[in-house]
Amino acid sequence: MEGTLERHSLLQLGQLSKLSFDNRPPPSNAADSSSELRNELGSVGADADYGEKEFILSQDFFCTPDYITPDNQNLMNGLEISEDYSPCPTSPVKLTTAKSKRCRQDSFTLKPSDSTWPSKYRLDEQENDDIGTDEIMADDTERTGYVSRTAVALRCRVMPPPCLKNPYLMNESDTATDPFGYQRSKCASFLPASMAGDGLSRYLTDFHEIQQIGAGNFSRVFKVLKRIDGCLYAVKYSTRKLYLGSERSKAMMEVQALAVLGFHENVVGYYNSWFENEQLYIQLELCDHSLSKKSSLRISEREILVIMHQIAKALQFVHERGIAHLDVKPENIYIKNGVCKLGDFGCATRLDKSLPVEEGDARYMPQEILNENYEHLDKVDIFSLGVTVYELIRGSPLTESRNKSLNIKEGKLPLLPGHSLQLQQLLKTMMDRDPSRRPSARELMEHPMFDRIRD
């Protein structure tokens, strides 16, 4: 590790050529130099320099352009790069050492203006992922853009790891069996398997997709197996391509809210997110199903109280962190091993109104928010939870029927036969027309009605 760090610093100082070749005999011909390059890329040769491989991977694996400004700008002149396609500035070291491998002509082009989005990297030619001597050319003048050549070579060699079994998992059912098993990763089609859209797919490289488990207005959700840890997750990705910066920023608010919130047993767990192919991918805790599946079933009052209490706990946690969910409804409450988890933070905003407000499903929204009164955003969530519980008790999804939903918004709750007056009264206050009269999440949690389910 120390060696690697030292190497890295020396590289920054422009001394890699010394490091790389001091202890090796100089190549006698082109073929030798080819095999040496192969070794450097870690593709063959057991005696390849491990430290160097590690460095190359860390810097180049995901084709991060090298933005180190050359000390000597004249180094660029030798490349005769046309003005239209001037490359990203690069480390002088990369251009002066024998490590510089020529990017296969017209195979991998990065226009400088596209440097922000990985999906703009284009791999136009993939039929041969082997690196041969014909790739080593002294003349770099045909380059049309810059992506580190080692990165190109490494990406060509990238393959999804096998789906590993996690030995710590107690419950066998927690692991999915990869239908293709180890064979899949051994087979020759790694490259197509991990390619999607405009380039290498992080999603397909890191995960094995098992099945679609949900879809919303803007996204699809899949049950996946993470190859490297052998655990199951849900990955949600936007169905629409987010080309504009404003669209991406808006989409990112969901993961930003989840990241700030951190862990709570009644909030869906968040692991990671990334952009790929102009779509936002979000890796989440996998739950069994959403509460909407239960809407059609008869639920006992005790079960209703448990659900209400758990989501009130989630809301208290969310509100205490200055965030309003603004889309509480059965489809956005997931169940995992009998525990309710609040999910889909796509409409989340700040309680202090410092962020734009985009209300969720209108059927669950109180009148004030439809009138664009955002004074009590926390109480919007309380109202929506009230409607959610009312829907669960009714046993059928709320219709779009204007009259019925209008009655609810007016705080006129029809009687719910077979349910305690205490519960009906609580629901009524949760759906009060006046937000200031609705209980806060904390007050809801402390309601004596929940004594019935407290241990």
Ligand X SMILES: Nc1ncnc2c1ncn2[C@@H]1O[C@H](COP(=O)(O)OP(=O)(O)OP(=O)(O)O)[C@@H](O)[C@H]1O
Task: In angstroms, give the least distance from the CB of 224 to ligand X.
Answer: 11
Contact region for ligand X (CB under 6 A) — 95-103, 202-210, 217-225, 412-420? Answer: 217-225
286's contact among Mg ion, ligand X, none, with CB below 5 to 8 A by partner kind, is: ligand X
Burial annotation 220-259 (CB, 10 A radius, 16+ → b, else e): ebbbbbbbeebbbbbbbbbeeebeeeeebeebbbbbbbbe
Does 11 participate in binding ligand X (rule CB under 6 A)?
no
Contact region for ligand X (CB under 6 A) — 34-42, 73-81, 139-147, 280-288? Answer: 280-288
Q: How many positions of this chain bind ligand X (CB under 6 A)?
A: 22
The residues, ordered by sequence, that sit 6+ positions from 321 with a Cβ below 8 Å of its Cβ are 260, 261
206 is catalytic: no
Residue 123 or 333: which CB sits closer to ligand X? 333
150's contact among ligand X, Mg ion, none, with CB below 5 to 8 A by partner kind, is: none
Is the distance from CB of 72 to CB of 60 less than 8 angstroms? no
Does 268 participate in binding ligand X (rule CB under 6 A)?
yes
Which of 56, 81, 234, 393 binds ligand X (CB under 6 A)? It is 234
The answer on whether 236 is annotated among ligand-binding residues is yes
* Of the candidates 390, 373, 371, the residue with the CA atom closest to the CA atom of residue 429: 390
Site for ligand X in 351-390 (CB under 6 A): none
Does 226 participate in binding ligand X (rule CB under 6 A)?
no
Task: In angstroms, give the least distance from the CB of 429 to ligand X.
Answer: 26
DSSP helix/strand/coil, 238: strand
* Residue 354, Cβ density class (10 Å: 0-12 exposed, 13-18 middle, ≥19 buried): exposed
Does 213 participate in binding ligand X (rule CB under 6 A)?
yes
218's contact among Mg ion, ligand X, none, with CB below 5 to 8 A by partner kind, is: ligand X
Q: 10 Å Cβ neighbour count for 137? A: 15
Q: 178, 327, 344, 381: which is the annotated catalytic residue? A: 327
The residues, ordered by sequence, that sit 6+ positions from 383 with a Cβ below 8 Å of its Cβ are 364, 365, 366, 430, 431, 435, 438
Which of 284, 324, 408, 441 binds ligand X (CB under 6 A)? It is 284
Q: Rounded to whole angstroms, how far apart are CA atoms 233 and 332?
A: 17
Q: 267: which DSSP letter? A: B
Task: In angstroms, give the least distance from the CB of 347 to Mg ion.
Answer: 9
> What tokens were used for 204?
């397909």
Looking up tokens 């009524």 gives 428
* Residue 184, Cβ density class (10 Å: 0-12 exposed, 13-18 middle, ≥19 buried): middle
Task: In angstroms, give the least distance from the CB of 340 to Mg ion.
Answer: 15
Residue 199 or 343: which CB sits closer to Mg ion? 343
Task: In angstroms, give the least distance from the CB of 234 to Mg ion.
Answer: 12
Residue 200 or 342: which CB sits closer to ligand X? 342
Does 257 participate in binding ligand X (rule CB under 6 A)?
no
> What tokens were used for 200?
């290498």
The residues, ordered by sequence, that sit 6+ positions from 227 with a Cβ below 8 Å of its Cβ are 160, 161, 162, 163, 164, 185, 205, 206, 207, 208
Does 325 participate in binding ligand X (rule CB under 6 A)?
no
Residue 166 half-sphere exposure toward CB, CA atoms < 13 A: 17
Looking up tokens 């909030």 gives 267
> What tokens were used for 409?
């918004």
Q: What is the CA radius of gyration of the chain?
A: 28
Residue 52 or 361: which CB sits closer to ligand X? 361
Which of 206, 285, 368, 378 binds ligand X (CB under 6 A)? It is 285
Binding mask 70-109 for ligand X (x = CB under 6 A): ----------------------------------------
Q: Work out the widest C-alpha separation in the chain, in whole angstroms.
A: 92
Name the site residues for Mg ion (rule: CB under 5 A).
216, 332, 344
Residue 19 or 258: which CB sits closer to Mg ion? 258
Task: In angstroms, give the least distance from the CB of 340 to ligand X.
Answer: 12
Contact region for ligand X (CB under 6 A) — 101-109, 170-178, 183-191, 214-222? Answer: 214-222
Does 117 participate in binding ligand X (rule CB under 6 A)?
no
* Of the candidates 439, 343, 333, 314, the residue with the CA atom closest to the CA atom of residue 383: 439
Binding residue numbers for ATP: 236
Binding residue numbers: 236
* Active site residues per annotation: 327
Residues that bind ligand X (CB under 6 A): 213-219, 221, 234, 236, 268, 284-287, 290, 331-332, 334, 343-344, 346
